[in-house]
Structures are given as C-alpha cells and as structure tokens.
Amino acid sequence: MWQFLKTWYHRLASPKWFYHTSGRWLPYLAAVTILLLVSGAIWGLGFAPEDARQGNSYRIIYIHVPVSVLALVGYYLMAVAGAIALIWKIKLADMVMVSAAPLGAVLTFLALLTGSIWGKPTWGTYWEWDARITSMLVLLFLYLGVLALSRAFTSRDTAYKACAILSLVGTVNIPIIYKSVDWWYTLHQPATIKLTGGSTIHPAMFKPLLVMIIGFYCFYALVLILNTRAEILRREQRSAWVRELI
C-alpha cells in the first residue's frame, strides 16, 4: 500500500502522466459535478422549507456558503501547492498553484457579491463593515496581489516561485488578519446584526446545502484540473508528447 502510494505520488509529479490520467477521469468527475449541482440546486431552491424570518431570500446560501468555503480553502490549496513546488521543485505543483489563483479570486468575488445581494433584504444594506465581510475583502486583495505578481514576470519560472513565496507569506498572515479584523470589529461596533440569531440550521435546509458544498468541491476540482491541463500544454509546448497531441 505504502509502495503504491509512493509510486503514485512520484508519477503524479510528471505533467505528462497527470495530463493523460486526468483526461481519463474528467468525464466521470464532470458527470458527478453536474449531478450534484443540479440535484442540490433543485432540492435547495425548490423543495427545502422556507425560512421563518427571511422567507425565500435565505436560499442564496446554497450558492453563498459553498463559494465562501472554497474561496478560503482555495487559498490554502494554493499556498500548499506553492510550498510543495518550492521545497521539492515539482513542476506540476507550480502549475496547480498558478491555476488556483484566478479561480480563488473569482470565488472570493462571488462570495462577496452573493453576500451583498443577500444582505440587502436581510440587513437592509448591500455593504456592512462586518468582520467576516472585511476579512473576505482582504482575502480578495491577497488573491489579487498573487495574480498581479504572476503576470508581472517575463520568466514563467520566476513568476511561479515569486507567487509561491507571496502566498506562503499570506498564509502565515491570514489567521492574524482574521483575528485583528474580528477584534477591530468588536471594538468599533457592538454586534447589532446577528444573522442566524443563535439558531442552528434545520436539517431539512442543511441536507441540500451539504449536497451543494460537495458539488462545489467537485466543481472546484474540475475547473482546477482543466486550468492545470491548459497550463501544462502551455508550458510543455516544446516537448515531444505535446507536439504529438496537437
């Protein structure tokens, strides 16, 4: 078992192997993603019970929550991939990292957007300097910094390494930023708005949410693999197997 994992890990480091293997898996992953997202959306939007206080407007959580979770997870994935690339000099980890950056930025933006759309009917305002919103905004800035840096270099190799270092520094900073923003918020504004009012979510609402979260995880994996495959082709365009392919 250990031996199998080891060879699998070493093989995974090869862009060519990854390209071919992921090509075989992709249709299944895409099918599962579509199935989960469609069924979760129909279940959540059509059949889950209405919220007693927020009416139908709460249903945006079926998009908002998965997107927000993945925005944060995406940053850590990017940083871990960057660390792997820096330590073991694995080219594939480079490509994963650089593919995760735009994806994470879009997800963070979507989380902010859906959150503010949801905020209008429930809080009466599109934007509130709430601790969590502010932290998401900082996360978006961190993503934008990595993106800007990755575009700035002429040498792709240097760009990857620079982004890896920046995302690692950002990762160390994220807990501190979150804590400080949280603390700043409690200092300046007493918590006047409490979204859930202490009540936990009802199972009938939670089950479709869980389906949507898993669906979005699959969606994230799918898009990340597609991005990475494109990156592989772009970077390995001079190698024989890519020439043969195209």
Partner 1 sequence: MVSESGFGALLRRDLLLAFRSGGELLNPLVFFVMTTSLVPLAISPSPLQLAVMAPGMIWITALLATLLALDSVFKDDFDDGSLLPLLLCPQSLWLSVLAKVLVHWLRTGLPITLVAPLLGIMLALPEAGFLPLVIGLACGTACFSLIGAVGAALTVALQKGGVLLSLIVIPLYFPVLIFGASAVQRAVEGLQYMPVLALLGAFFAFALLTTPFAAAAALRVGVNG
Binding site for partner 1 (CB under 8 A): 138, 141-142, 144-146, 148-149, 152-155, 157-158, 161-162, 165-166, 168-170, 172-173, 176-177, 179-181, 183-184, 187-188
CB of 218 to partner 1, least distance (A): 30
In DSSP notation, 79-90 reads HHHHHHHHHH--
- When the beta carbons of 1 and 176 are compared against partner 1, the nearer one is 176
- When the beta carbons of 113 and 162 are compared against partner 1, the nearer one is 162
CB of 194 to partner 1, least distance (A): 23
CA 53 vs CA 40, 46, 49, 125: distances in Å: 23, 18, 12, 17
- Cα of first residue to Cα of last residue in the chain, in angstroms, is 36
Type and span of the H or E element at 241: helix 240-245
CB of 75 to partner 1, least distance (A): 12
- When the beta carbons of 52 and 187 are compared against partner 1, the nearer one is 187
Residue with tokens 């093989």: 11
- When the beta carbons of 62 and 143 are compared against partner 1, the nearer one is 143
- When the beta carbons of 122 and 171 are compared against partner 1, the nearer one is 171
CB of 206 to partner 1, least distance (A): 33
CB of 103 to partner 1, least distance (A): 19
CA 140 vs CA 36, 118, 136, 156, 243: distances in Å: 27, 19, 6, 23, 37
The answer to whether the Cα torsion of 99, 101, 106, 108 is positive or negative is positive
Long-range contacts made by residues 184-190, C-beta under 8 angstroms, separation at least 24? 184/131, 184/134, 185/129, 185/130, 185/131, 185/134, 186/131, 189/129
CB of 176 to partner 1, least distance (A): 5
CA 135 vs CA 88, 130, 179: distances in Å: 32, 9, 9
- When the beta carbons of 146 and 218 are compared against partner 1, the nearer one is 146
